[in-house]
Amino acid sequence: MNTTGAEALIRSLEKKGVEIIFGYPGGSVLQIYDLLRDSSIKHVLTRSEQAAAHAASGYSRVTGRVGVCLATSGPGATNLITGIATAYMDSIPLVAITGQVSTDMIGKDVFQEVDITGATAPFTKHNYLVKDVKELPRIVKEAFYIASTGRPGPVLIDIPKDVAAAVFEYTYPERVDIRGYKPNYEGHPLQIQKAVKAINRARQPVICAGGGVVSSGCHNELLKLAEKCKIPVAMTLMGLGSIPGEHELALGMFGMHGTYFANKAVSQADLIIAAGARFGDRAIGKRDKFAPNAKIVHIDIDPAEIGKNIDTYIPIVGDLKRVLAKILEGTEEVKEREWLNTIKKLKTEHPLKYEKSEKLKPQFVIEKLYQLTRGRAIVSTEVGQHQIWTAHFYKFSEPRRFITSGGLGTMGYGFPAAIGAQLGRPEERVITISGDGSFQMNLPELATALENNLPIKIIVLNNGTLGMVRQLQDFYCNGRHSCVDFKFVPDFSRIAESYGALGVRIQREDEVEDALKTVLNSDKPAVADVIIDSDEKVFPMVLNNSPLSEMIGGY
């Protein structure tokens, strides 16, 4: 059957089970959009291409499926770059499809031409410039395979206009076979035996759970291992939800803004079992002082991550779910462990806390939100102080409920990611917690939420400043604040109402509960503009060039 390249793309996406594409049209993708209208795939028109990529990422993170976004050539393609890089840093499976000028025009600087494959090469798992229409079905199938296997990540497909218009006889490949790309899922048996022996001998072990626990779906195996061997679990920002936040073995987040007891436990451990964590700089503090008494067992699907940042005693390359299942079989059950008494004392004597005052505290707002939702919401955040307050004071009960930009730290991520999350899991309550700076970056996506009848709740912790940068200036610039305080901040509740959403403003502690109930009970998008103290800081904090054991504030 003769088919155009655009038709082949749509048919191939349908065969991959794609239900939703987030995108923004333009001249180089007219043929694709014309056919998309009559396909089984729902298209969500965002208000910018960057938001389309973030929404596809949010969809992927809550469903575990590959997110898909679509943009035209030139500025449309380059506007996807931040979203693609965000997905790459956090290992989120994404397929980004871009239009391109005709193949005979490539390299001639014609209207809306850009080398998007060259631009994204450093932060995609792979990318394709489609030069032969007959290759398009294979490329689509390979792109989804590469994005979702091994260490997940984004793949880009760039389709020139003449390729989209070319006609050929369509066939869809039955299987994928890529030379040189063979992810290893089975951990080496001898390495697993060494890990089992190390765990059985350890007196003060700690599991450091990263985003790999979420993407591999091994949270049950992790919890069974922790409970069987009585091992406390510290989590990276991306690993939150690996075990229930209220569990007695949960230490919360460790790292630059980790809890006191998580950082102390990691620093005093004699064995670290790193599960799908890459030992990023924000997690480990001063590198040569990280867990000075601990041997490191590092389990990861990506061999490039093992030993990259921290020397590893027992490296294991493989799928976490399979490796942890094997380790679980060999470990000895522990009835009591004195180490846990030390952990309990650290938690009791140094809990997370904040000082009450006349000004509304953001931690109080998040605690109240947690109580009202019983910890069962899907929560996305932007990047900044509110992100860390959320990580500390909203206790996530399971994986795929916390959506945030970890590796790249992308402001403007949380709200469009929440749109993707709500479309991916429409039965769930989805909440975005944002700062006033971040929210203004993708505020127009309120229209996207309204057009698609998405009852997303947006909690804007509004302190009139770029709070995290301001805090860093307090510590590293002698308190000299430069270009962080906004001279004008709009009333976000009134902006919400102008779009047709619900808007409320909260300025006092006694208003919080009733206002949040109003927002949560709304059947349409709702914005709570919460006026908080601009001087409130995120604590604990590990200063530059300090070990995790040396923290300031918050305990």
What is the overall mean pLDDT for the chain?
Answer: 97
pLDDT band at 1 (very low <50, low <70, confident <90, very high): confident
- Residue 97: predicted pLDDT: 98
Tokens for 479? Answer: 């308190």
User: What is the third-level CATH fold of 362-531?
Assistant: Rossmann fold (3.40.50)
Alpha helices per DSSP H over 47-111:
49-63, 75-79, 81-89
Which distant-in-sequence residues (6+ apart) come within 8 Å of 340 by Cβ? Answer: 230, 232, 249
- Residue 554: predicted pLDDT: 78
- Portion of the chain with pLDDT greater than 70, in percent: 100
Reported as a single tens digit per residue, the pLDDT across 520-534 is 999 999 999 999 999
pLDDT band at 504 (very low <50, low <70, confident <90, very high): very high
What's the start-to-end Cα distance of the chain, in Å? 69
Catalytic residues: 49, 111-112, 161, 468
Q: Given strand 20-24, what is the order of strands in its sheet?
A: 42-45, 20-24, 67-71, 94-100, 154-160, 126-129
Q: Are strands 205-209 and 378-381 parallel, antiparallel or unpaired?
A: unpaired
Peptide bond into 455 cis (omega under 30): no
Reported as a single tens digit per residue, the pLDDT across 428-454 is 999 999 999 999 999 999 999 999 999
CATH number of 189-349: 3.40.50.1220
Which distant-in-sequence residues (6+ apart) come within 8 Å of 75 by Cβ? Answer: 112, 114
User: How far apart, in whole angstroms, are the C-alpha atoms of residue 300 and residue 212?
Assistant: 7
Q: At what angle do helices 362-373 and 512-520 cross, to 10 degrees?
A: 50
Tokens for 370? Answer: 């947690």
Reported as a single tens digit per residue, the pLDDT across 155-208 is 999 999 999 999 999 999 999 999 999 999 999 999 999 999 999 999 999 999
Using the Cα atoms of residue 95, residue 96, residue 97 and residue 101 in order, give the sign of their dihedral: negative
- Residue 121: predicted pLDDT: 98
User: How far apart, in whole angstroms, are the C-alpha atoms of residue 142 and residue 176?
Assistant: 6
Range 501-513 average pLDDT: 97
Task: Record the pTM.
Answer: 0.97
- Residue 356: predicted pLDDT: 87
- Residues recorded for the chain: 555
Range 98-114 average pLDDT: 96
- Residue 343 pLDDT > 80: yes
- Residue 212: predicted pLDDT: 97
Range 451-468 average pLDDT: 98
- Residue 295 pLDDT > 80: yes
Range 421-434 average pLDDT: 98
Give the start-to-end residue ranges of the domains of the chain.
2-169, 189-349, 362-531
Q: Are 449 and 520 in contact (CB under 8 A)?
A: no
Q: Are 519 and 496 in contact (CB under 8 A)?
A: no
- Residue 555 pLDDT > 90: no
CA angle 137–139–145, rounded 5-degree value: 110
- Residue 508 pLDDT > 90: yes
- Residue 410 pLDDT > 80: yes
User: What is the third-level CATH fold of 2-169?
Assistant: Rossmann fold (3.40.50)
Common-topology check for domains 2-169 and 189-349? yes
Reported as a single tens digit per residue, the pLDDT across 10-48 is 999 999 999 999 999 999 999 999 999 999 999 999 999
Tokens for 165? Answer: 């218009």
- Residue 397 pLDDT > 90: yes
Reported as a single tens digit per residue, the pLDDT across 376-396 is 999 999 999 999 999 999 999
DSSP state of 257: T
